[in-house]
Amino acid sequence: MAFRWKNTLTSDDVTPYAAYLNRRQLMAGAAAGAIAGAMPMASRAQDALEPNTWEEITSYNNYYEFGTGKDDPARNAHRLTIDPWTVRIDGLVDKPGDYSFADILSQMTVEERIYRFRCVEAWSMVIPWNGFELADLLDWVGVQSSARYVAFETAMRPEEMPGLASPVLDWPYVEGLRLDEAMHPLTMMATGIYGRDIPKQNGAPMRLVVPWKYGFKSIKSIVRISLVEEEPPASWNVTNPREYGFYSNVNPNVDHPRWSQATERRIGGGLFAKRQPTLMFNGYEEDVASLYDGMDLSEFI
């Protein structure tokens, strides 16, 4: 697929952590932003957005391995040991093996991108991630021609993750993407936020970020990546397929069975902040809609 970027954001647009109270306005949509010299990114929307603060991003999120409350991850994730960290890459690849996080980083180009983040629970943020394109990692290990999907697995450490005692999901947490989704330039492996190492509660040391999908697709603290031929299991889809599809693309026209997806609540806007319309594919429609040509998006949710 031919993919052309429109450069609208640079590192100058990203709010410095130490000065977020004086943050400048960004052009909304901020489908992505890049540091100088990195691949320019797209911007689609009309309204003005700015990144959420470090405190909002790191203290309000879902990571059920550390508890189901929004503040549980920030309170409990300090238990997670992330050094050393090893990622097993296997399946239909030319160079399977157990790779240290340091070895992976040494081969990747890390850049900064500003992405919308939309939770399936109908709240949203704008996050300045640091990381690298998943496609670069997959190219490095060599994807074999028979591969059609990429499967991911989160660490499962009961002694460090108190939420694993809960039966809310079958553990470990797993997710998957179609190979063309995984290879898309917007799909990244995040290793940081605001130029700092990614906090443990946000998925340290390495998590997936797929900005046009609901947040639960962006699996955290990855310990295994497998290239496979058949559609892999995805935790929420397995647990409740009626409510959570494998694709989980942001779609304001298809409601969750228990709530509307037409609007969202921006975190940081206050308790009585006006809800804003949710954009198709979370504002990335021009970039990713062609991936789903011919698919009924009300059926393949």
* 174 phi, psi to nearest 5 deg: -130, 155
**Residue 61 marked in a binding site:** yes
Cβ neighbourhood burial of 1 (10 Å; 0-12, 13-18, 19+): exposed
Q: Report the C-alpha gap between 153 and 239 in whole angstroms.
A: 16
Residue 116 included in any domain: yes
In this prediction, residues 129-149 reach a mean pLDDT of 98
Instruction: Give the pLDDT score at 49.
Output: 82
Instruction: Give the pLDDT score at 172.
Output: 98
Location of structure tokens 């970020």: 209
Nearest CA to 244 among 153, 149, 181, 168? 168
Q: Which long-range contacts (CB under 8 A, 24 or more apart) does 291-300 make?
A: 291/1, 291/178, 291/180, 291/181, 291/184, 292/247, 292/249, 297/247, 297/249, 297/251, 297/253, 297/254, 298/253, 298/254, 300/245, 300/246, 300/247
CATH label of the domain that carries residue 197: 3.90.420.10
Question: Which of 21-30, 173-182, 230-239 has the least mean pLDDT?
Answer: 21-30
Q: Which domain holds residue 214?
A: 11-292
Residue 245 included in any domain: yes
Q: Report the C-alpha gap between 138 and 148 in whole angstroms.
A: 13
Instruction: Give the pLDDT score at 272.
Output: 72
**Residue 119 marked in a binding site:** yes
**Residue 218 marked in a binding site:** yes
Residue 127 included in any domain: yes
Residue 2 included in any domain: no
**Residue 249 marked in a binding site:** no
- In the predicted model, is pLDDT for residue 55 greater than 50? yes
120-134, pLDDT tens digit by residue?
999 999 999 999 999
What the block records as the tokens of 149 is 């999907």
**Residue 251 marked in a binding site:** no
Q: Is 190:207 a contact under the CB 8 Å cutoff? A: yes
Instruction: Give the pLDDT score at 274.
Output: 86
11-51, pLDDT tens digit by residue?
444 444 443 333 323 323 333 433 323 333 443 333 448 99
Question: Which of 30-34, 175-179, 267-271 has the least mean pLDDT?
Answer: 30-34
> What is the number of structural domains in the chain?
1
Instruction: Give the pLDDT score at 271.
Output: 67
Q: Using 50, 70 and 90 to split pLDDT, how confident is the model at 103?
A: very high
Residue 4 included in any domain: no
- In the predicted model, is pLDDT for residue 298 greater than 50? yes
pLDDT, the chain, mean: 88
